[in-house]
Structure 1
Amino acid sequence: MLAHCGGSPAAAVDHLVGAIAAAPEDPEPYAVLAELWRDRRPELAEVVRGANSLRTVLARSYVSFLDGDMDDAATAIGSVTGVRPDIAWADAPWFGDERFLGRVSAGALAEAAMRTMDRGHDLDTDGMRERFQPWFRAIDAVAAREPAPEALARMAILLRACGLTDASFALCDRADSVEPVMLTEVVRAGTWRRLGEPERTAAAFERALALDPANWSLYLDLADVRAEQGDFAAAVRLTEQGMRHEPDEPTLRAARAAYRARLTGSPADLGELVELAPGLPHDGYRDLLIDHACAGPALPAGLVAAARRIQHGDRAPATGEARPAAPRTDA
């Protein structure tokens, strides 16, 4: 192989990984890579532990398996899958090998599963579900061997992303049979929300709060559900409860201001939202809060216009009565 590639380990790895990408299930490229790893380990180590291109990370996943580092093997192939989920990387013979499934930790497989979703690709298709079958089998095997509740909950997120909502709920139930934890309920809530079940979504968030009553973000999650249902009084109450635990959190303050403006038509609350909105990290959520707030009763037109300008990319506040002191910079 090295002779074919001009004696270059980097070129050999590139060639072999190209062959793996073309047919991840073919054992031959792995066998050649294993031989090179045995015979030219120092040179190949420099290649696969170096620059994090897709090809080098894929090679790293296999050499980590060869070295018995199953956790690194899992997270590396998870990263590769996140970049190109249209290729069935987990059809690799080693991924279904008992040496891998018997030793990879639940935490590492959960992290790997999360990495498969990093780029936001749509996994809820028949083609994706087919390509992810080895992942589903690995989750089953590791969950049976090491049912760590938080790890199982994170794996359940991948099942949900692939449209397997019943399997996601079942994995959450398995996690609960070991120990109820907040994350499991949050994952359940997200699955119920995906299914368009707001009351069940809210019930899961309430159970999460019972397990972690000082978690401000759970109050915000539940407030958002109540706002979606049109219960802005409950949304205000929940954001205010969250602020008892984290009074300076900008997103929580912005949500409270938005929901109060929607409920009462308070210019002061809409003004606070206009002040906070430019610093919020998620544009989609910012715009949703502005939509809620601007629907409040009898709000001044200039203030509403100031909020709408933020939605359209003008982060500078309006003049006159709509002008807050300055956009926050600590968000």
Structure 2
Amino acid sequence: MTLLLVATGDTIAHRAAGVATGRELLELAGPPPQRVVVEDVLAEPSWDTSVSTQFALARRVRKALAEDEFDGVVVTHGVDSLEETAFLADLLAGPARGGIVFTGAFHPLSAAAPDGPANLAAALTAAADRALRGAGAVVCVRNELHAARWVRLADGFTSAPHPMLGRLVDGRVRLTSTPPTRPPVVGGEPESDVALVKTYPDMPASLLMTVTDLGARGVVLEGTGAGNVPVELFGTIMELSQMDIPVIVASRAHTTDIGMAERMGAIGANGLTATQARLALMVALSKGGGVEAALRYFGSL
């Protein structure tokens, strides 16, 4: 069995004398459970990760399992946008035969008690465990396993209101819930130009037209807890839908209801967060198709 470790730097690799390489991180994590091939990837800080970097990491994960015959992949990533990149990798992975595990650290190597080496060791163990085959991408931190679709950055990582997928116990994966349904497979390159707009009372409808005038091929609106958006946006939502530019509405509370906006042509995010919905819309528009493609994709998530 051979695992691929993709190291992107960030907090897990920060030390007083610079940034540790993937090979150095591997040495700090202790003897791995299987043979590990290391690849270092130049990436922006996690708080400013570009879409192109996220796409590149997701594609590398997919290729590693589908073409390069690795048995599992571990990606070290900064925690700020780790959940987003992990979810994109989950969307693009298809019927992956091996484990896909993302991990990171809240304390750098230069701290008195760095958590990165232990998290990496656990992630490698998880990726080698057959229990995660077919489960899609997961996040492994503090011996906890969270499905990429459910994970949220809070005080650490949490899957709430969904159950945690499992944990590492005595060097083995112990699943405590059923993994979420795998997303549909869509070929082609994801559409990178999708806008995300947080709604607020008295928000001018012109903001939506501004992002599409600048080239956005789709828009995600973050509505209130019940999925509602200001009534001032209804006319513009209808207009964009008629222009074949899909408008997705996500709820701040992750509900599936989107209120009256659905009557205007908006599409519900099916419980995804606004940031997840943006990534999902990118994938949905991989082969063009506009509103109809978005309806099919989000309807099958």
Give the structure-1-normalised TM-score: 0.27
TM-score by length of 2: 0.28
Structure with the largest fraction of strand: 2
